[in-house]
Amino acid sequence: MALRPVPVTPPADLEPWQWPEPQWRAIVEHVRAGRTLRPERWPGGARCAVALSFDSDHETNELRDGGKSIGRMSQGQYGARQGVPRILDVLKRHSVPASFYVPAVVATLYPDEQRRVVAEGHEVGIHGWIHERNSILPPADERDLQMRSADVLEKVTGVRPVGIRTPSWDFSPETLAITRDMGLLYDSSLMADVDCYELEMDGEPTGVVELPVEWIRDDAVYFAMNRFSALRPYTPPEGVFDIFRREFDAAYAEGGLFQLTMHPHMIGYRSRMWILEELIRHARAHEGVWFATHADIVRYVKAAC
């Protein structure tokens, strides 16, 4: 299928405040939130949906920029050796399905992990090849990597992925066209709403559903650290739990969707795993809460709205 034209690049001699309206409007409208997909009721009369997700980046956080740090790769390996098993145990204990987004390189390094994830009732979705940044790739390479990533996940798990979370939630002007052309059901990388919505491209509905994320509901924001910079975790685990719980409580009060993004190498520690378990317990203590994979939530809202 032919590529749609990307937004006009401003001439080098024009500053943004000098751009004519068609120029900035085309940039804004290239990828946009369209109609809201918010059902009156969730399955079984539930009043709130909970979508838990885990981005199994493992070693690719180091590899994607060409890094070769053995120390940082060991942190990635922790995600596979300790993080994912701890997470799967909690999910199993509470019978909660979740979605795991897995780069093709990680799926190749840890095929048994992905098979266990799927065997235990969870979803595996696309998360790039090696956690590359889409916005710096040549369009043909981005298309090739996204398609090959889907093939690798299908080969490893036996299930064709139906959704994508772009690595680092990074979107190029081509990403949505690739996702649409691949026939994927949904994307989960953008942030225009708290409810699902249909993505539009240049003013036209694409049929691709967005299940929106937010940095506020991402453990990496609060727990990331860098030994050689001033970046340190600045929110204690209790504070992170409090933010996530308030996000859930408001979603429940509004009858909406609570979506959360976590990373096995961020949440999967002895002093942090309680956040996940306590959140699940908290949600379970409410009547009418539907826990589902991102794919199942998207299928439901697409049919109901």
Is the distance from CB of 132 to CB of 143 less than 8 angstroms? no
Q: Closest separation between CB of residue 6 and Zn ion, Å?
A: 24
Least distance from Zn ion to the Cβ atom of residue 122, Å = 16
169 vs 248, which CB is nearer to Zn ion? 169
Toward Zn ion, which CB reaches closer, 149 or 206? 149
Per-residue binding letters, 42-81, with Zn ion (x by CB under 5 A)? -------------x-x------------------------
Q: According to the binding rule CB under 5 A, does residue 174 interact with Zn ion? A: no
Greatest extent of the chain over all pairs of C-alpha atoms, in Å: 60
The span from the CA of 245 to the CA of 146, in Å, is 34
Closest approach of Zn ion to the CB of residue 168, in Å: 6
* Cα 139 to Cα 145, 147, 197, 204, 217, distances in angstroms: 10, 12, 25, 21, 30
In the complex with Zn ion, the residue whose CB is nearer, 79 or 173, is 79
- How far from each other are the two terminal CA atoms of the chain, in whole angstroms? 28
Closest approach of Cβ 57 to Zn ion, in Å? 4
For the bound state, the minimum distance from the C-beta of residue 249 to Zn ion, rounded and expressed in Å, comes to 27
Q: Of 57 and 59, which has the nearer Cβ to Zn ion?
A: 57
Nearer to Zn ion among residue 63 and residue 209 (C-beta): 63
Residue placing its CB nearer to Zn ion in the complex, 48 or 276: 276
**CA separation (Å) from 150 to 29, 64, 113?**
28, 18, 17
Q: How far apart are CA 262 and CA 274, in angstroms?
A: 13
Q: Say how far apart CA 289 and CA 291 lie, in whole Å.
A: 6
Q: Which residue is nearest to Zn ion (CB)?
A: 55
| Listed residue (281, 262, 285) closest to 52, CA to CA | 262
Beta strands in 56-148 (DSSP E): 99-102, 123-126
CB 86, min distance to Zn ion, A: 18
Give the helix/strand (H/E) hosting 280: helix 273-284
Nearest residue (CB) to Zn ion, 23 versus 135: 135
Q: How far is the CB of 129 from Zn ion (least distance, A)?
A: 12
DSSP annotation string for 127-147? --SSS--GGGS-HHHHHHHHH
* Binding residues with Zn ion: total (CB under 5 A): 2
Residues in contact with Zn ion by CB under 5 A are: 55, 57
